[in-house]
Amino acid sequence: MKYLITLLLALVLATPSVAQEKKPKLVVGIVVDQMRYDYLTRFEDRFGDGGFKRMINEGFNCKNNHYNYIPTYTGPGHASVFTGTTPKTHGIIANNWYDKYEKKMVYCAEDDTVESVGTTSSDGKMSPQRMKTTTFADENRLFTQMRGKSIGISVKDRGAILPAGHSANAAYWFRGKSEGKFISSTYYMKDLPEWVKEFNNSKKIKSYLKEWNTLYKIDTYKESGSDLNDYERGFTGKKTATFPYDLKKLNRLNGGFDILKSTPYGNSIVADFAIEAIKNEALGKDEYTDVLTVSFSSTDYIGHNFGVNSKEIEDTYLRLDKDLERIFKALDRRVGKGNYTVFLTSDHGAVNVPSYLKSVKIPSGYLNNGEAKEQLKAFMVNKFKAEDLIENVSNNQIFLNREKIKSLGLDLVEVQETIVNEIINYKHVYKVFSAHALSTNEYTTGIEALLHNGFNQKRSGDILIIPDPAYISYSLTGSTHGSGLNYDTHVPLLFFGKGIKHGETYKKTVIPDIAPTISALLGISFPNGASGQPLEFVLE
């Protein structure tokens, strides 16, 4: 009898609870840097069954998914996906911004109080300390009494650090130059784990310093413009931005291993490293859900260099599809089909190269910031009889010298409104708002609402400017991003795996919905500043 009770008790204890059974053992959050929604449809015919299409065919496709704030940059994007809110709340208002209190430009992931791990350079002096709220990975750590792991991986430091959150076990990012390896910071660890050292010491990364040619014959690439055109920058040391690119030769003039960031191989290295992490960190092996965040950055570098419509972009996505397939296969093998959940999105889209758009008569162009600055400076001297009232201009925002305004006995709100009324007359300015207006009004629709969601009263500037559609401050070659227009806000959102329905929707979803959806799936607290809603129709 006693034996039987012990046996029954053992059986009960060994059987996972209903709650545990419903939960994935591993959540993988994938961000593809600068992936416009239409890349999914533009290159669809050539994707294999195991990558993007597997997510679409087995999972849920949110086809009308958008960023709901300005500015659409990498730091804010990664923070928003994983915290479920916008810069207004999480505080990552740009990649670099002017700090009013420190009186200098700061970087979203920098941290002078920590040291580099795995490199003698300062590239490891990073942490998520400037992000004000928790990610769903943080909430999972708290919920599981720190038993569930969270690990972030990317070529870019901010792409690894912000998603994994404050309480992450590790974040790894790529150090180029003469080193070519994954590094971290003392925020997470004293020394790199053995498996990371082994990966870094293997010949793997160096083996990618080879030729970059198209995956298939170039004349079969129909979803892009001609390889040779006026809208691409290319690499130093090669006259034309045309295939093939000999990276072994070109790397010396293009930052050594840094050149890999601007090729599809940067994504392959991240996939290789993520697969090693899944194996060596035993992710998804015990009953406590783990979180792995993977951000592919090379898509962004390539977009900035060659533009939205390039052959290089087409090739990059066909190759990324293969890298995704490798990751999903590794997950099937290590964690088991149906035991894990994956979502894939992007941190922002990108505008077609304005000089190309112009050539096909679409309104677009380039902003002359120097000229506008001079004009404003002259206006300020004339109007207020004072110089240096403007402390900084960055990210389409103006920061005023508040001490000077006070000492001159001027009214801050009046100065702000005077500048608004001046700048609105400048060329290619669509709208201008003062910090006062954004702090005292609640904007709920249109571009005003996007600006409002990106406005952090403590960190943002005194004046916020919205340029005309497709007008950018950028070189005449390559694409960029940052606006609240559809080319920058509309990005893919795919879910697949444990707990996810099969389907698709054109119902509008916004980026801050992702983290509450994953939190609902896991039955954990929503990130502390989350403003989005769980996407019920996605969950089983």
Tell me the C-alpha distance between 226 and 232, whole Å: 11
**Which part of the chain contacts Zn ion (CB under 5 A), choosing from 20-28, 87-95, 120-128, 219-227?**
219-227
Q: Indicate whether 315 belongs to the interface with Zn ion (CB under 5 A).
A: no
Of 123, 139, 227, 276, the residue at the interface with Zn ion (CB under 5 A) is 227
For Zn ion, the closer of residues 135 and 297 by Cβ is 297
Stretch that binds Zn ion, among 73-81, 251-259, 379-387, 492-500 (CB under 5 A): 73-81
Q: Which stretch binds Zn ion (CB under 5 A): 116-124, 208-216, 230-238, 366-374?
A: 230-238
Closer Cβ to Zn ion, 108 or 500, answer by number: 108
Would you say 483 and 515 are in contact if contact means Cβ atoms under 8 Å apart?
no
Measured in Å, how far apart are the chain's first and last C-alpha atoms? 42
Q: Which of 300, 321, 462, 513 binds Zn ion (CB under 5 A)?
A: 300
CB of 35 to Zn ion, least distance (A): 9
| Contact between 323 and Zn ion per CB under 5 A | no
Q: Is 321 in the site for Zn ion (CB under 5 A)?
A: no
Token look-up 């941190």 returns 347
The least distance separating Zn ion from the CB of residue 245, rounded to whole angstroms, comes to 9
Residue of 117, 183, 241, 400 interacting with Zn ion (CB under 5 A): 241
Query: Residues in contact with Zn ion, total (CB under 5 A)?
Result: 7
Q: What are phi and psi of 150, to 5 degrees?
A: -135, 130
3-state secondary structure at position 313: helix
Which residue minimizes CB distance to Zn ion? Answer: 74
Q: Which is nearer to Zn ion, 300 or 513 (CB)?
A: 300
CB of 307 to Zn ion, least distance (A): 9
CA distances from 191 to 7, 29, 154, 162, 372 (A): 44, 25, 19, 20, 49
Regarding 33 and contact with Zn ion (CB under 5 A), the answer is yes
List residues bridging with 28 in a β-sheet: 292, 342
Residues 341-400 within binding reach of Zn ion (CB under 5 A): 347
Give the max Cα distance, the chain. Answer: 97
Helices marked H in 245-310: 247-250, 264-280, 298-306
Question: Minimum Å distance from CB 444 to Zn ion?
Answer: 27
We find the least distance from the C-beta atom of residue 200 to Zn ion, in angstroms, to be 25
Omega before 264 within 30 of 0, i.e. cis: no
Quick check: 157 binds Zn ion (CB under 5 A)?
no
Instruction: Pick the closer one to Zn ion by CB: 231 or 433.
Output: 231
Tokens of 484: 């609240």
Q: Does 155 bind Zn ion (CB under 5 A)?
A: no
Residues 6+ apart with CB under 8 A from 121: 175, 177, 179
* CA distances (Å), origin 242, targets 312, 393, 469, 539: 8, 36, 29, 45
Determine, following the binding rule CB under 5 A, whether residue 138 of this chain makes contact with Zn ion. Answer: no
CB of 311 to Zn ion, least distance (A): 5
Instruction: Retrieve residue 311's tokens.
Output: 């052959």
Say which DSSP state 215 is in.
S
74 is catalytic: yes
Smallest distance, Å, CB 165 to Zn ion? 18
Contact between 93 and 100 (Cβ < 8 Å): no
Cβ 497 vs Cβ 341: under 8 Å: yes
- Select from 30-38, 43-51, 96-104, 271-279 the region that touches Zn ion (CB under 5 A): 30-38
Contact status: 314 vs Zn ion (CB under 5 A) = no
**Distance separating alpha carbons of residues 408 and 254, to the nearest angstrom:** 49
Q: Which of 72, 74, 89, 119 is catalytic?
A: 74
Task: Kindly state whether residue 74 participates in binding Zn ion, applying the rule CB under 5 A.
Answer: yes
User: Which one-letter DSSP state was computed for residue 126?
Assistant: B
* Residues forming the active site: 74
Contacts to Zn ion by CB under 5 A: 33, 74, 227, 232, 241, 300, 347
